[in-house]
Amino acid sequence: MSGGVDSSVCAMLLREEGHEVIGITLRFHREACDGELRVCCSPEDVRDAVRVSQHLNIPHLTLGWEQIFEKKVVERFIEDSLKGKTPNPCAICNREVKTGFLADYLKKVADIEKLATGHYARFVEYKNRRLIARAKDIKRDQSYFLCLVRREHLDLLLFPLGEFTKEEVRRIARERGLPVWDKRDSQDVCFLGGKDPGSFIEERVGSQEGCFYYENRPVGRHRGFFHYTIGQRKGLGIALGFPVYVHRLDPGNNGVYLCKEEELYRDWLLVEDINFHLDIKHWERPVAQTRYRSQEVEIADLEKTPEGYLLKLRKPIRGITPGQVCAFYEKDVLLGGGIISS
């Protein structure tokens, strides 16, 4: 229970169905939210989760996992960013801390049957396996962020909101009198505290000014390579008489290499740390999704190499970015995913 409306409705629906429900809240931050900013897993959220649990008359426990979260998510985010990658900490967190890992932990220490979360995703039977699929509310679908959850943890999970829209969830919460029915959704990556990723990292490692390059010639100064991501155009402060985009980051010499837009397209990518929910031998017409809101593209070939899996795509896509997550689907069914290395 994050203290938000989704996980609160999730707990309420399960209780109404007759399940024995215990509210579990993970505290990742000791700082309270600042003003209009809302991030999840803060002390305010713990208090809201307790209020909802009291309203539902269910027991509630808080786990202070600040150190686990710092080590497994925040430190990895900084480390990957300093390698010139653009990481996806939410997908890592779902595997290493708050979804797959938490379900396994609670099974071992409390013998729970299922961990239910407020994710907008569904479970379906597909090719004789219980697999994650996209939610009914496609605008809210969060299956992409679950592609790294290990296969052995899937059977411990429930997603009760998968058949609901966000509007339906808020209406249910309002009609049942849940105290958080109108609470704002969390915004952005929770540990950034409203900062952009580059500013967050700069606070940890200091300012690191360097050069922009176009066709290997210096064309200006930048604030540090970790402030930029592949495909970025806004905020560069470079005037060459035509639009330029970030093409490549070079952490070794703190360089940011620019290009014209047509150079951003690729029809291949290399994926490491790959995770299969369904064995690859059962795949028929898989597609790849390389960012949360990006369009899927058909996979022409998937070849195992010593460096990872090489994906060849049926058409080029823009701005493939190392560190981002690549999720694999067949129809609406999630087949697994991995992390883009190049």
Q: What are the residue numbers of the active site?
A: 93, 190
Neighbouring C-alpha atoms within 13 Å toward the C-beta of 6? 22
Query: What are the start-end ranges of the H helices in the chain?
Result: 5-16, 43-56, 66-69, 75-81, 89-93, 100-110, 166-175, 197-205
- Contact 3/48 with Cβ under 8 angstroms? yes
Separation CA 72–CA 317 (nearest Å):
31
From 302, 315, 308, select the one nearest 341 (Cα to Cα).
Answer: 308
Give the torsion sign (CA, 272, 200, 319, 131).
positive
Residue 10, amino acid:
C
Residue 238 burial by CB count (10 A; 0-12/13-18/19+): exposed, middle or buried? middle
Could you tell me which residues come within 8 angstroms of residue 105 by beta carbon, excluding any fewer than 6 positions away?
Answer: none
Helix (H, G, I), strand (E, B) or coil at 248: strand
Strand partners, 340: 271
Contacts 24+ apart (CB under 8 A), 98-107: 98/26, 98/41, 99/146, 99/149, 99/153, 99/157, 100/149, 100/150, 100/153, 100/157, 101/153, 102/24, 102/26, 103/153, 103/156, 103/157, 104/152, 104/153, 104/156, 106/24, 107/156
Residue 136, amino acid:
K
- Contact 265/316 with Cβ under 8 angstroms? yes
Separation CA 138–CA 121 (nearest Å):
9
